[in-house]
Chains A and B, each alone.
Chain A
Amino acid sequence: MTPEKIVELGLAEGMAVAVGGKATSVNFRLANNSVTTNGREESSSVGMVALEQGRVGVQAGDLIDSSYVAELARQARVRAQQSPEAPDAMPLLTPGEAASRDGDAPGAAAEALPADLEPILDSVGGILEQARSAGIRCFGYAQATASQEQLGTSTGVSLEGRRQNASLTLTLKTSDLRRSVWGGATARRLADLDPTAMYRGLSQRLAWTEKSVALPAGHYQVLLAPSATSDMVVRLMWEMHARGADEGRTVFAGKSGSRVGEAMYSSAVNLESDPLDPQMVVPNFVRCLGSSEYASVFDNGLAVPATVWVEGGVQQELICPRRWAQDHGHPVRPDVDNLTMRGTDTSLDQMIASSERALLVTSLWYIRDVDRATLLLTGLTRDGVFLIEHGEVVGAVNNFRFNESPVGVLQRTVEVGKSELAFSREVGDELFIKAPPIRVENFFMSSVSDAI
């Protein structure tokens, strides 16, 4: 059954909102120069939202047949009847108020098939052979996903969104497992990725590790590679909602109201989202089966516009669903499934070349909140910290635990490089991110980690 048919059946059952989805993916993993596991997954999903005089009932599941859609609709109605009135109740959007239909990813594939792996299998086989010859152990993961979502409402809104993405990550270790580097890349299709080039770049970094330099905990000037930058800005984005600021729960709470309008970061920092960015197209309308600070079920179909969150270091916007915006005098700002930190024309190599003494940090790991009021995070460097002196990488440095807030990191950002599609090691490829390398002063490495 198609997503369109699911929605049609759901609306015929009297649902206020009906969502039909279809997703497919293919993947394989690598360890010790061998494929270990693989998978091909396909699913069809159903989401039913019943509204009964401002009360909400939501029921979702994996599709079985048309009678199951009717059963889920019945259960959603029962849930609504059992629930008190929703605090975010609003009239559903009309087609004129909702997003237009021009948000589809141009040429997005309907499904991911085993054949989608084939374009990279020869080159992956080639790099595994090179790794064996060079005494290197290669580990990794490749995947391709295609998904389609159809949304319909009882007020006549009908929208379709597609998403297609692929990613490849590789870890290279020396045969004694004493030295390690990592890289990740994401694109629309696996065919757009180049495992051989990624292996070549990582081999160069692995060569940098032949000389090791032990450094103590302390404050360092660091160059965060795009993956590490993306890990930091994603954590910031997760807190960027108006409700948390209004209630004094997050770092975006000011002494009187939110910090919108405040120069919270270096003037070099600019953050924005655009669902129609051709490199990272995502559905340009709200899909929500459970209300939260980020979205409301009553906002289903709401247009997700391009949004500038931070301009010249000044916080411009916070995510805000319609009802919270109405009750608290904010502009409506839907969440977006992609994020860009704008960059410059300066490459990471140029930033290395212009460094007197700095640490190059290529990836971060296991980042967790320590203090929500300051958004203090703790985490670790992983698979690639290098000492740069007089414009050149002079060796690999031990790993560190860091204690830092993304707000502080972006305040102390003194240089921004060229922004690129980045793979956040913490978030994976669930969220499209473009991020640049950044130079940060006084980055606090709080202790040394023995991990390799």
Chain B
Amino acid sequence: MLDPEFTGLPLDQLCSAALEAMASAKGIGYGDIRIHRDRIQGIHVREHDLISLSESEPRGFGVRLVVDGSWGFAASSDMTVAGVTRAVAAAAEMARLLRPLVEERVELAPEPVHQETWIGEVEINPFQVASERKVDFMLDATARCLEAGAKFAEFSCLQVQENRYFVSTEGSRITQQRVRLHPVLQAGLVDERGSGLVETMRSTARPVGRGWEYVESHGFPAEAEEMVGWLREKLASPSISPGAYDLVIDPSNLWLTIHESVAHGTELDRALGYEANYAGTTFATPDQVGSLKYGSPRMHITGDRLEPHGLATVGFDDEGVAAQRWDIINDGILVGYQLNRQMAHKFHLPRSNGCAFADSWSHLPLQRMPNVSLQPDPDHDTTLGELFSGVEEGIYILGDKSWSIDMQRYNFQFTGQRFYRIHKGQLAGQLRDVAYQSRTPDFWGRLEAVGGRSAWQLHGAFNCGKGEPGQVAPVSHGCAPALFRQVNVLNARHEGQE
């Protein structure tokens, strides 16, 4: 159900004022207005204490228009007719001021007119759950960590409800609502054999486009105790010897590698240089579509804004383009990109695939990542055990931790939460200090097998950064566990002492 506090705002009145102001101004070819109202609650507990519980309700609108081939954008939290009218004038002023420096005129790929409402599916809206219930639940989990022997335990949970109302001069009028949350439970023990400092372990819970039902059904009470056991075993485990290893990478780790090395690498705005001053470019340039060997033939990557409970799942993007699903890499070959309407036109495509997104009312929509996922083995429901069985000596990696990749999406280095030795097809205890480092096409070229549909999971992040001024976007990545042959593994602890 749409939040009545949002629909109670003077949405139509403000949008009508924007359209009238655009119509009466000279030379405005296209225009739209997005009204946002978010609810954000952050809870942070540590050990037996509530550290912070804060809630905010950002709200405002952004006006985007084209004057003589130049974008103009203005945003304001002054949600009055006067505020909207002033913003339209400011956007037009920005467009005219900068027009002399615009070499490439803005033109948009066509999109049908949509007049619809879309609501993301959740069972329990977290903003309808009493704060005491949430705090008590979280304190119970940290208490269980402490009872299991943890020296420290903390639990944070960020919850967001986004409401958007989009109206364009083309006639689209779209109302949307979605909810997401990210619970993070972490326990700490002193690393007596190593640094003498605290080492931490994070739960397997992930950010999701779901409601409070996800938190209460994840199994935190049991996992709180398990985590401390995992951490104790990790601290007693041998440090990895650097070298080349076969890796079986769990979805809880592989999602981030997909995010950094594939999803960012196939953003068309990066390929066209729009992010060259900040987020970077990509080695996957448009002239290589249909020929670039991104990885092994096992690699089938799709983009979508449709996956149920995905963090990038919407009904329509922030240009009013309906959600879609499409291939990005097929049989290991680059076949597609993430697009917005301007880039679709530039790329001579008939339509955008719906990847425009603004993280708030105050920011211009950028080409942003949809859910980008590695598809499971289409022929066989390969299990984790079957992947292990093909490994003589290797490492099974779970959970994400540290990540870094270069500005063309080649050289990357990742760590994880847990690392298990695989010996003759069987798990043989934990290892520590593992980091894997590779070059994107080399790494994906070493992909030998992907797990089946039953093992496929959706993971993701709330905080994908891009753009100037900086924006953060939520995004999901689905995958099954996958086997990569002979990847370079570093010892993270020794690396700092070389």
Contact = CB atoms under 8 A, between A and B. Distances in A.
Contact of B74 (A39, A219, A452): A39
A449 B439 CA distance: 8
A147 B53 CA distance: 25
Interface in A16-45: 25-45
B276 A31 contact: yes
Nearest to A117: B97
Interface in B182-230: 188, 190-191, 194-199
Interface in A272-316: 289-292, 297
Nearest to A33: B103
A219 to B, nearest CB: 7
Contacts of B59: 61-62, 64
Interface string A112-135: 001001100100110010000000
Contact of A43 (B72, B280, B362): B362
Contacts of B490: 403, 446
A106 to B, nearest CB: 26
Contacts of A382: 280, 406-407
A297 B52 CA distance: 9
Nearest to A369: B402
A60 B70 CA distance: 35
Interface stretch (A75-83, A152-160, A431-439): A75-83
A382 B277 CA distance: 11
A196 interface: no
Contacts, number: 279
Interface residues of A, number: 100
Contact of B194 (A35, A367, A373): A373
B50 interface: yes
Contact of A171 (B71, B276, B437): B276
B197 A61 contact: no
Interface stretch (B128-136, B140-148, B374-382, B423-431): B128-136
Interface in A48-107: 56-64, 72, 75, 79, 82-84, 86-87
Contact of A62 (B57, B93, B275): B57
Contacts of B410: 449-451
B152 interface: yes
B278 A141 contact: yes
A5 interface: no
A446 B495 contact: yes
Contact of A32 (B273, B402, B433): B273
A399 to B, nearest CB: 7
B77 interface: yes
Contacts of B55: 58-60, 75, 79
Contacts of B195: 373-374
Contacts of B74: 39-41
A163 interface: no
Interface string B31-70: 0000000000010100001111111111110000000001
A346 B199 CA distance: 42
A355 B102 CA distance: 43
Contacts of A139: 273, 276-277
A398 to B, nearest CB: 10
A291 B458 CA distance: 32
A137 interface: yes
A24 B75 CA distance: 10
B492 interface: yes
A401 B94 contact: no
B498 interface: yes
A410 interface: no
A183 B435 CA distance: 32
Contacts of B492: 370-371, 376
A383 to B, nearest CB: 8
A214 interface: no
Contact of B439 (A39, A56, A450): A450
A148 interface: no
B101 A61 contact: no
B496 A450 contact: no
Given A82-B130, A171-B277, A373-B195, A42 B77 contact: yes
A399 B280 CA distance: 14
Contacts of B345: none
Interface stretch (A185-193, A225-233, A247-255, A337-345): A247-255
B104 A34 contact: yes
Contacts of A255: 196
A31 B274 contact: yes
A177 B130 contact: no
B220 to A, nearest CB: 19
B496 A28 contact: no
B281 A177 contact: yes
- From B70, B73, B135, B404, residue with most partner A Cβ within 10 Å: B404
A143 B469 contact: yes
A265 interface: no
B444 to A, nearest CB: 15
Nearest to A245: B197
B276 to A, nearest CB: 4
Contacts of A63: 77
A378 B497 CA distance: 13
A140 interface: yes
A376 B498 CA distance: 11
A190 B74 CA distance: 19
B364 A39 contact: yes
B413 interface: yes
A35 B101 CA distance: 6
Contact of B188 (A36, A170, A249, A448): A249
Contacts of B102: 34-35
A14 interface: no
B356 to A, nearest CB: 12
Nearest to A128: B101
A249 B198 contact: yes
- From B97, B152, B437, residue with most partner A Cβ within 10 Å: B97
A182 interface: yes
Contacts of A380: 404, 406-407, 411
A440 B274 CA distance: 34
A39 B363 contact: yes
Nearest to B412: A401
A380 B411 CA distance: 9
Nearest to B440: A450
Given A58-B54, A177-B281, A366 B405 contact: yes
A444 interface: yes
B91 interface: yes
B362 A26 contact: no
B56 A61 contact: yes
A56 B42 CA distance: 13
A59 B56 contact: yes
Contact of A114 (B94, B103, B276): B94
A405 interface: yes
B50 A86 contact: yes
Interface string B354-392: 000000001110000000000000000000000000000
Contacts of A452: 408
B132 A82 contact: yes
Nearest first, the 4 A-B pairs at minimum CB distance are A34-B103, A376-B496, A451-B408, A373-B195
13 contacts: A27-B468, A28-B94, A38-B98, A82-B132, A83-B50, A117-B98, A141-B277, A289-B54, A370-B413, A374-B497, A383-B407, A450-B283, A451-B280
Interface of A: 25-45, 56-64, 72, 75, 79, 82-84, 86-87, 114, 117-118, 121, 124-125, 128, 137, 139-141, 143, 169-171, 173, 177, 180, 182, 219, 247-250, 253, 255, 289-292, 297, 365-374, 376, 378-380, 382-383, 399, 401, 403-405, 408, 428, 444, 446-452
Interface of B: 42, 44, 49-60, 70-79, 90-91, 93-95, 97-98, 100-104, 130-132, 135, 152, 188, 190-191, 194-199, 272-278, 280-281, 283, 362-364, 402-411, 413, 415, 433, 435, 437, 439, 468-470, 490, 492-493, 495-498
Given A56-B53, A403-B496, A451-B408, 20 more contacts: A28-B101, A30-B277, A31-B272, A34-B101, A39-B75, A40-B74, A41-B76, A43-B75, A61-B59, A72-B57, A79-B54, A79-B55, A83-B50, A87-B49, A250-B197, A378-B435, A401-B406, A449-B410, A451-B407, A451-B409
